[in-house]
Structure 1
Amino acid sequence: MDVKLIIVRHGETAYNRQHIIQGHLDVPLNENGRIQAFSAGQALKEVKFDAAYSSDLSRAYETAEIVLNHNKPGLNGGIWKCYTLRERGTGVMQGQSSNLLLEEAKERGIPAYKYTPQGGETLEMMTYRAALFFEDLCEDIKLRWKLGQSPTILIASHGGLIKDLLVYLVERKGCTLPKVGNTEYRAISPNCGLTTLNLKLDTELDLKSMQIVDLYNGKHLRGLDLMTTKNHHLSSLSAVSNVLRIRNDSL
């Protein structure tokens, strides 16, 4: 049994553009974000989705709606809202400049990606959520197969959660990386970047193998807005951590 997962990061928000940490704050898409989502929908217009899942935060849910509205074959059924697909909660840092978080982590002598602001989620907590979503998804896929479907599924989420999900799948579940192209699965997807995974299940409907065949693809975004397609916005703790880690690795 073959299953295709297409994962899209939400479109741009005003907080993305202003480098403000969003976390669990429900910040809507801005106009540029809606254009990005439209472009992603056009890139996927020939795909027949059998199911769609989204973070329950509006920036991801609206992105999924726009993508599916411009998907010619359409979707039979609604979009399932999942708390497990939310961005990492950043507690008191939500709504604050990303620079403030970097300064606080530095003052405490803690790498930014390991720093948990007061009231925020640890990395382990978010990884657990990502793993929980995937295990629940596998159970749903098994049910769909019994109903005669070999599904293609849309997943709309956030930069940090997508990154942690891919890290979990690659490092703990044996997911293989693309044979060619970018293999930096620990990076943050651009807004409305697309990632495609192929899953194979055996006759007992157990996961046999999976492969990332397209990682953080942003070709459909070219020419829309140089700022948003070339910049991994510091809009979440995970994004801040990722940028700092890359800087450190390059020293």
Structure 2
Amino acid sequence: MTSNVTHNCSRTKQEVVRERLLKMFTFSLTFVRQACVSCQVLQHAVWLHVCLGETQYNREKLLQGQGVDTLLSETGVQQAEAAGQYLKDIAFTKVFVSNLQRAVQTAEIILRNNSHCSGMEMVLEPLLRERGFGVAEGRHKEYLKNMANAAGQSCRDYTPPGGETLDQVKLRFKKFLKALFKQMLDEHLSSGPAASSGASASGDVAQGTAAVASNTPPCCSADDGLQGVLVHTLVVSHGAYIRVAIWHLVEDLNCALPAGAKMQQVFSPCPNTGISRFILTLSESESGPVLSAARCVFTNRKDHLENLADGE
């Protein structure tokens, strides 16, 4: 009789742990900026977290928002190839890409180089498009700078006529995160904890949470921060957009930063194909998924560009 009681108590504890695991989900979010693009059109007119590769517009310091949609330059293709080689051993489970062609091309090259994801379907997401620069698109950056100076504002904070404010860009990112969180947690709950949580059903949930909240210094490896995390999301977007996204994650969502990280570097402009990574833990609530822990592993990493003549 005593033996049965002990067995029942043990089973109940396992069920409690399983239930807690089902309601908690950790995944990585890696941003890449698009590479550089070639100059093909001159219209009105640029993380995860990967930034895009270079375009001819980047090289000529012309603004690219949403109205200018060009392909990568030769240098941009090389940058995307380098990013793909750097990330080749990361088994991404989901890939979200801005639907502008310079971002799509960057993502295609990254996935083509990946040992696990070649041929993986990408989700083209308009919410990841670059910030709109209105009348300044296709113009030299000095044009925007002069407009900002005339308005008594910094270039980053200034919104040209017809352009998007930083708050509008942030709202797009928040909508993307909300949809992503719901999709991630729904899939996790339907598959069970063993399939995607990164933690054992017999282990202690608190250990996984502590790992997410830690500030382990990066060691410049492509898999930094991914130990024990089984679900990896790749986001390919644009420089100004990723900068706003990182600001929201750090300032609004209280994302923990690496030990010794300087805010100036965290919020610095993302280089072409610069890579940023965040580890996020979601929990289930009555109102839907909530972010229970967030850790920044690194931002704007460009180690993969060291051997290229024009890494920026």
- Could you say which TM-score interval applies, normalised by the shorter chain? 0.7 to 0.9
Measured after TM superposition, the shift of residue 186 of structure 1 is 1.8
In structure 2, which of residues 229, 252, 255 is the aligned counterpart of residue 175 of structure 1? 255
**1:207–1:107 distance in 2 versus 1, CA, 3 Å:** closer
What do the CA deviations read for 1:136-168 (whole angstroms, capped 9, x no partner)? 111121123133445211100001111101111
Q: Distance in 2 between matches of 1:77 and 1:144?
A: 18
In structure 1, which of residues 181, 187, 196 is the aligned counterpart of residue 277 of structure 2? 196
Measured after TM superposition, the shift of residue 214 of structure 1 is 1.5
Would the aligned equivalents of 1:49 and 1:75 in 2 still touch at CA under 8 Å?
no
What do the CA deviations read for 1:82-115 (whole angstroms, capped 9, x no partner)? 1111111011110001111111221232322232
Q: Distance in 2 between matches of 1:131 and 1:225?
A: 36
1:209 is matched with 293
Q: Distance in 2 between matches of 1:159 and 1:58?
A: 15
1:219 is matched with 303
**3-state SS in 1 of match to 2:29:** strand
In structure 2, which of residues 240, 245, 250 is the aligned counterpart of residue 160 of structure 1? 240
Would the aligned equivalents of 1:198 and 1:211 in 2 still touch at CA under 8 Å?
yes
Matched positions, count: 228
Would the aligned equivalents of 1:53 and 1:81 in 2 still touch at CA under 8 Å?
yes
**TM-score, normalised with respect to structure 1:** 0.85
Measured after TM superposition, the shift of residue 182 of structure 1 is 5.2
| Structure 2: runs of 5 or more not aligned | 1-24, 32-49, 198-230
User: Does residue 109 of structure 2 align to residue 71 of structure 1?
Assistant: no
Q: Distance in 2 between matches of 1:180 and 1:44?
A: 25
Q: How does 1:91-170 map to 2 (within 5 A)?
A: 91-145=134-188, 146-147=190-191, 148-150=195-197, 151-170=231-250
**TM-score, normalised with respect to structure 2:** 0.69
In structure 2, which of residues 26, 29, 35 is the aligned counterpart of residue 5 of structure 1? 29
1:51 is matched with 94
Q: Distance in 1 between matches of 2:167 and 2:284?
A: 33
Measured after TM superposition, the shift of residue 74 of structure 1 is 1.5
Would the aligned equivalents of 2:185 and 2:284 in 1 still touch at CA under 8 Å?
no
Would the aligned equivalents of 1:6 and 1:196 in 2 still touch at CA under 8 Å?
yes
| Structure 1: runs of 5 or more not aligned | 230-251
Q: Distance in 1 between matches of 2:302 and 2:183?
A: 29
**1:163–1:98 distance in 2 versus 1, CA, 3 Å:** same
Q: Distance in 2 between matches of 1:108 and 1:218?
A: 34
Q: Distance in 2 between matches of 1:120 and 1:221?
A: 31
Measured after TM superposition, the shift of residue 180 of structure 1 is 4.2
Would the aligned equivalents of 2:111 and 2:119 in 1 still touch at CA under 8 Å?
no
**1:31–1:57 distance in 2 versus 1, CA, 3 Å:** same
**3-state SS in 1 of match to 2:240:** helix
**1:76–1:30 distance in 2 versus 1, CA, 3 Å:** closer
CA RMSD of aligned residues (A): 1.7
Q: Distance in 2 between matches of 1:76 and 1:3?
A: 22
Query: Computing the radius of gyration over CA atoms, which structure comes out larger, 1 or 2?
Result: 2
Would the aligned equivalents of 1:182 and 1:215 in 2 still touch at CA under 8 Å?
no
